[in-house]
Structure 1
Amino acid sequence: MKTSLNEDWKKDRIAAANRGENPMVIGKMKSGFAVIGDTQFLPGYCVLLPYVQVGTLNDLDFKQRSEYLLDMSLIGDVIQEVCNPRKINYSIYGNTDAFLHAHIFPRYEWESEERKLKPVWLYSPNHWTDSKYQYTVEKHLDLKEKLAENLFQIMKDAY
């Protein structure tokens, strides 16, 4: 996979993934790309990007929707296997980035009791922006590779 020294790929993550220039791609699935999240304060956080940019899940036909939702759940299975969280949260919003993408968040026993009861979006803003939580090859490549390896295996079994 090509990687760029700059972060131009972030301007259009889907197009960059299709060109092989999105360094966050874990693997190609039936409906799109499994990518590791930019922030890893909850280790294993991933996103599912469709191959073609659409506004919402409802813009896909029934077959595409089924494939997308199955792929989303397969990513959850992979995170469960690799990271052993207590549960997986799935969300599709599109409010900030107005295109279809699904967030797959592991939730852990080590999170504070207050955090366990609330959506991940209520973590403080620094969890989303502080460099100590951001994905880096040095800190997270091993995790990304394990996710990719398990994703490849589960897709062989699922499709």
Structure 2
Amino acid sequence: MGLEDWKQDRIRSAREGRNPTVIARLPSGFVVLADMQFLPGWCILLPYKQVSSLNDLSMVERAHFLLDMSVLGDAILAVCRPKRVNYDILGNTDEFLHAHVYPRYDWEPPDRQPLPVWLYEDHYGSDPSTAFSPTRHAQLMSDLRNYISSHASAHAQQ
């Protein structure tokens, strides 16, 4: 097996403990750090149940997934202090349910701030200096994990 075989099935590798991007577990799925961190704190919520879209989940499962997505947004706001957080469920490239939750910052180029993150130039998505690194991103992952573990149960009870 290669070093990055976990990328072939991110949900299964998270279940098996082989996905190094896993930050925490929420009731509906795994919180992982995105492969590229040119917007520090960009995370993805991967559901435990691998399905094609949100519509493939029961109403209860959908409610849990969407609530967990917002809890992840709370964590990013608290830890990274961005201007705002954007939420995106696409599935056009990776045809399985997953939600991108990414911070938007005042320091982003002014022409980029009003646009979706997907319209950043390609080099942002391939810059080794912002690529996920278990070492470089350990503190960020720890801070997000700590926020989630201390606040997720409070959200679940409300």
TM-score tier, shorter chain, comes to: over 0.9
Query: What stretches of structure 1 move > 2 A for 4+ residues in a row?
Result: none
> For residues 153 and 53 of structure 2, what CA distance do their matches in structure 1 show?
28
Matching residue of 2:146: 149
Q: Secondary structure at the match of 2:39?
A: coil
Report deviation, 1:138.
2.7
TM-fit CA distance, 1:5 = 6.8
Tell me what 1:136 maps to: 133
**1:121 is aligned to 2:132:** no
Q: Deviations over 1:31-58 (max 9, x none)?
A: 0000011110000000000002100000
User: What are structure 2's unaligned runs of at least 5 residues?
Assistant: none
Count residues with an aligned counterpart.
156
- CA displacement 1:4-54 (0-9 Å, x = unmatched): 870110000000011111111111110000001111000000000000210
Q: Which runs of 5+ in 1 are unaligned?
A: none
RMSD: 1.1
Q: TM-score, normalised by structure 2?
A: 0.96
Identical amino acids, percent of aligned pairs: 47
Local SS of the residue matching 2:95: coil
- Matched with 2:4 is 7
Corresponding letter in the other structure for 1:126? H
Q: For residue 135 of structure 2, give the secondary structure of its aligned residue in structure 1.
A: helix
Cα deviation, 1:103-138, whole Å, max 9, x if unaligned, reads 001000111110111110011111111211101123
Q: Name the SS for the 1:116 alignment partner.
A: coil
